[in-house]
Amino acid sequence: IIEMASGSAALSVVAVAMAAALLALCGSTEAHTQFGAYNKTCPQAEDIVFKEMTAVVAKSPGLAGSLLRLFSVDCFVGGCEGSILLDSTTNNTAEKDSPLNKGLRGYDVIDSIKAKLEAACPGVVSCADVLALAARDSVRITKGPYIPVPTGREDGNRSSAADVTPNTPKPDASITGLITFFGKFNLTAKDLAVLSGAHTIGKAHCSAFSTRLYNFTASNNISDPTLDANYTATLRGQCAAGDLATLVDLDPNSGTTFDLGYYRGVAASMGLLSTDGALLLNEDTRAYVTCQANATAPAEFFADFAASFINMSKIGVLSHHKGQIRRHCSAVNPLSASSQAPVTMGAHAAVLLASSFVSIVALALVL
């Protein structure tokens, strides 16, 4: 009887230990990314992305900005889970086909990098991570900072054009509206000032700012008085009234180099978008713009940008098999293909599984 009692007590202890271990393993809802998540499963992944991006930007410098923007749009609409890359289907209009996203470029670059990764390590690297890595490489290649972006994101299955408008700041958003918008994603006013610095590279269509040039008020041909007059004249030269398609550098000083030119432009009333100029209308964001505009070196901006980029890269991340590793970035995996993310066991999970194993051995010995 005593032997049986001690046996069942041991059984209870072991059962509780196993349950706790498994609950900790399966019940965690925290999304998990880490720096170098592919170090073991696809060690060459980050090198492949960097090599491809270097070649792409050497050929088409404008694509650096496009890839950086693509990542931010992905993160703000439904999280950094690659939904912007999905094509529409007969039953679904995807995010990329929202009228607000018509100007996005660079999908083919992601598809071709993904093809290289699939050839090297089939089914391992998510499209969400390809996008995150391509964006951070865009910054590095244009002479900005190297950003140690965590990886291990999984890909989502949902992409709906209806999600775009509520998750895209309006072109004429006020500074308060922008701060509130960023706040929804746990990003601060400083993150807003810092991430807007991404506009140091890339271009905008005339359509994105033409109301500032021609019909800012009800009476025709009145321009935005907060825009520098000479800059307005230059922009009118680049974007004739009614021209919505021409592309103009967001940073009037140095549009292909990741530097302080954007802040110098904004501080001098030459922020191209109304939302760039709006940074001057809040004490904190204005202080950041002024500080960087007057800085002699970009070190502080670079460190801040790396930190804010990583903050943004954590929005709505899928992990723990809540997503999948898409084989092609433009379509969810067919049901027949493995739609599960491969098990990439972190040290934490390994310890928990090992403790379960020890518990089972102990149970066997007791019995």
List contacts with ligand HEM (CB under 6 A).
62, 65-66, 68-69, 72, 103, 105, 169, 171, 178, 192, 195-196, 198-199, 201-205, 208, 250, 273, 275
CB of 39 to ligand HEM, least distance (A): 26
Binding-site members for substrate are 169
CB of 183 to ligand HEM, least distance (A): 12
CB closer to ligand HEM, 177 vs 342: 177
CB closer to ligand HEM, 195 vs 329: 195
CB closer to ligand HEM, 50 vs 305: 305
CB closer to ligand HEM, 304 vs 349: 304
Residue with the CB atom nearest ligand HEM in the bound state: 202
CB of 323 to ligand HEM, least distance (A): 22
Binding-site members for Ca(2+) are 74, 77, 79, 83, 95, 200, 251, 259
Q: What is the dihedral angle through the alpha carbons of 186, 139, 75, 261, rounded to the nearest 10 degrees?
A: 60
CB closer to ligand HEM, 26 vs 287: 287
Binding-site members are 74, 77, 79, 83, 95, 169, 199-200, 251, 259
CB of 157 to ligand HEM, least distance (A): 25
Q: What CA–CA distance (Å, rounded) separates 344 from 100?
A: 36
CB of 334 to ligand HEM, least distance (A): 31
